[in-house]
A and B are shown apart, each in its own frame.
Chain A
Amino acid sequence: MNFSNVVTVYLKELKDTLRDRRALMSMVIIPTIVMPALTFGVGKIAASVVLKARQEIPAVMVLGGEDSPGVMAGLRQDKKLRLVATATDWKEQISDKKLRAAVRIPAGFEKGLKAGAAEPVIIYNYDGELKSGFAVNELEKYFRGLRDQTVTDRLTERGLPATLVRPFETKRENVAAPEKVGGNLLGGIVPYIIIILCFTGAMYPAMDLTAGEKERGTMETLLCSPVARVDLVLGKFLMVLTGSLSAMILSLTSMTLSAAVAGMIFAAKTGPAQLAAAASQAQGAGGTMPMIDPMGLLGVVAMVLPVAVLFSALIFTVALFAKSYKEAQSYVAPMIFIVILPAVLGMLPGIDLNARLALVPILNLSLVCKEMLSGVWHWNYIGIIFGSSCIYAGIALALAVRMFNREDVIFRA
């Protein structure tokens, strides 16, 4: 191996690739602009749709209840419900989404309540429909309140304390630091995005530098040079790795920056009181404002390095076999599913790192990144994963060199 030859090949490939609009698209534009826009865009749309659904005051129809004026008055006063006039086609109205829910109050409900027990109240809803669910929650909340009030009234009547039926309360309090909560929420998705970008960033240069060169006839020209084959492979491989890493680093930087900018805009628009309210609302929705621990992020980047080498060498080897760019695409594109599957598995809650999973490529990366982002550093696993990834990467690179030396592969036409 001659290092200066490797550098010569690498610099030429870099120059060549930077002049290629299609390569810039996959290596620079998509990771810096499209990926963050997609991630934030989809998140924002989802959040605003849910918020809108929550803000809507659901239309609810009461069936019966003429002899229970107290209940009717209570429902009418509930600001989170909009009562509509009783009609016979209430079932159709629910199906047509004109009505979110209906509630049947049995005849003689209040009388029965005074006497001891009453017939059940029936709530009609549209299962699986978000807005119908909100209406049901509201109705149930009202009737739960009514039941509690009835119990309390009865206890007071008999001179008994309220703690007789409710001897204690339970309370929830979060002890995880905000960045750990963020780690758990984002810990799954960040490695997933990184893995995909590492792969797609390597795809274009890997195919262009192998099958693309064969197709254009420059491969034979290059093979005429006195440079050893291994130097050619390494120079080209370094370019593919550059594509992979640049896609990953650019997208991480771009996402971090846009998250920071979005946070600043958010803070500027809303006063501190509103911010606190928003935070508590977010807590109700499942957590505090997510934050990413920068040390965890650095750890992720370090762990991804050998996997980027593995991807680059593997795609290079597969694409080298193809006769044309098009053929290479049909081989390489399905590989992305093989990559996504373990990455998605790692995102699932409940799958935790163990010694055996630490040896499964890609899945181990996804799992260890999730841990590192939530501030957990299992050094022995990190060692196993980094070591095994390096070994896999080395094998893949050796395979690439071997394939490049095979006449039937390099001259396949």
Chain B
Amino acid sequence: MIEAHELTKTFSDKKRGVITAVDRVSFTCRPGQIYGLLGANGAGKTTTLRLLATLLKPTSGRATVAGFDVAQAPEAVRSHVGFLAASTALYGRLTAREMITYFGRLNGMTDAAIKARIKQLSAELDMDEFLDRRCDKFSTGMKQKTSIARTLIHDPAVMVFDEPTLGLDVMTARAIVKFVRDCRDRGKTVIYSTHIMSEVEKLCDTVGIIHGGRLVTEGTLPVLRARFGEQDMEEVFVKAVGGEAAVQAALKN
């Protein structure tokens, strides 16, 4: 369960002054559902997810993740969250097994529990072949699998995905999408950010469209289609953010 209420994050930039990256965003994600955060680059997706994963502290507003407040108990939140982003890399000089074990230990697991969990994850993700090789020699697919195993080692109740398919080839991206669906089917709360419309249509139960730091609209896919009178998700998105001009202006910033 994720509940965000009036979540706000501002940064101060020397050239541009105070920037509001996330502006009073409120939403709820329930267990067994995928909440899709759809937005252009710089719309505030990554900042929102980093606030939920307690990598950043909110300037104002509240959020609870798995029952813990992100500002009051960030460590407890992190121990119930699996965070996977295109920017979360692996330690190249460690083997996949060492990498996963390290994060198991950081999550306070015993070595026996880690060993059993790695065996299970490796079978599920088909990792046996490269489990004891160093990560720097991996293909992108192997890297993604290792990252997934890293986020799942402590079996978190909430999964946060920040554009996980960014820069991946089709097959690897498909495997990720399947994995995200598996997470939902196991009853986890999933939040997924992307700017790819087709992924939203394939995956998400509820979609929030974020633009300029604000959550401009929210609803299930049929609800959004009905609200904007468009069948195509891309058209829905453009209408929701206020037309072509608004998209252009946002990208220029």
Question: A217 to B88, Cβ gap below 8 A?
Answer: yes
**With an 8 A cutoff between CB atoms, is A286 at the interface?**
no
**With an 8 A cutoff between CB atoms, is A224 at the interface?**
yes
Question: B75 to A228, Cβ gap below 8 A?
Answer: yes
Question: B55 to A223, Cβ gap below 8 A?
Answer: yes
Contacts of B7 in A (CB 8 A): none
Question: A227 to B91, Cβ gap below 8 A?
Answer: no
Contacts of B93 in A (CB 8 A): 16, 19-20
Question: B53 to A224, Cβ gap below 8 A?
Answer: yes
Question: A407 to B78, Cβ gap below 8 A?
Answer: no
Contacts of A226 in B (CB 8 A): 75-76, 78-79, 106-108
Interface segment, B97-105, B187-195, B203-211, B242-250? B97-105
Contact flag A225-B78 (CB < 8 Å), given A8-B106, A216-B89, A407-B57: yes
**With an 8 A cutoff between CB atoms, is A52 at the interface?**
no
Q: How many residues of A contact B (CB 8 A)?
A: 22
Contacts of A411 in B (CB 8 A): 55-56
Question: B150 to A221, Cβ gap below 8 A?
Answer: yes
**With an 8 A cutoff between CB atoms, is B142 at the interface?**
no
Tell me how far the C-beta of A228 lies from the nearest C-beta in chain B, rounded to whole angstroms: 6
**With an 8 A cutoff between CB atoms, is A171 at the interface?**
no
A221 to B88, CA, bound (A): 5
**With an 8 A cutoff between CB atoms, is A408 at the interface?**
yes
**With an 8 A cutoff between CB atoms, is B81 at the interface?**
yes
**With an 8 A cutoff between CB atoms, is B85 at the interface?**
yes
Contacts of A228 in B (CB 8 A): 75
Q: Give the residue name and chain of the A residue nearest to B151 (CB).
A: A224
Question: A217 to B89, Cβ gap below 8 A?
Answer: yes
**With an 8 A cutoff between CB atoms, is A220 at the interface?**
yes
**With an 8 A cutoff between CB atoms, is B228 at the interface?**
no
Contacts of B88 in A (CB 8 A): 217-218, 220-221, 224
A221 to B78, CA, bound (A): 12
**With an 8 A cutoff between CB atoms, is A15 at the interface?**
yes
**With an 8 A cutoff between CB atoms, is B229 at the interface?**
no
**With an 8 A cutoff between CB atoms, is B11 at the interface?**
yes
Contact flag A225-B57 (CB < 8 Å), given A15-B98, A218-B91, A408-B11: no
Q: Give the residue name and chain of the A residue nearest to B107 (CB).
A: A226
Tell me how far the C-beta of A8 lies from the nearest C-beta in chain B, rounded to whole angstroms: 5
A208 to B76, CA, bound (A): 29
A20 to B216, CA, bound (A): 48
Q: Give the residue name and chain of the A residue nearest to B76 (CB).
A: A226
A220 to B83, CA, bound (A): 10
Tell me how far the C-beta of A10 lies from the nearest C-beta in chain B, rounded to whole angstroms: 12
Among B56, B88, B92, B106, chain A packs the most CB atoms within 10 A around the CB of B106
User: Which residues of B are interface residues toward A (Cβ below 8 A)?
Assistant: 11, 53, 55-57, 75-76, 78-79, 81, 83, 85, 87-94, 98, 102-103, 105-108, 147, 150-151
Q: A216-B89, A224-B55, A224-B83 are in contact. List 7 more A-B contacts (CB 8 A).
A: A15-B94, A16-B91, A16-B93, A220-B87, A221-B90, A225-B78, A411-B56
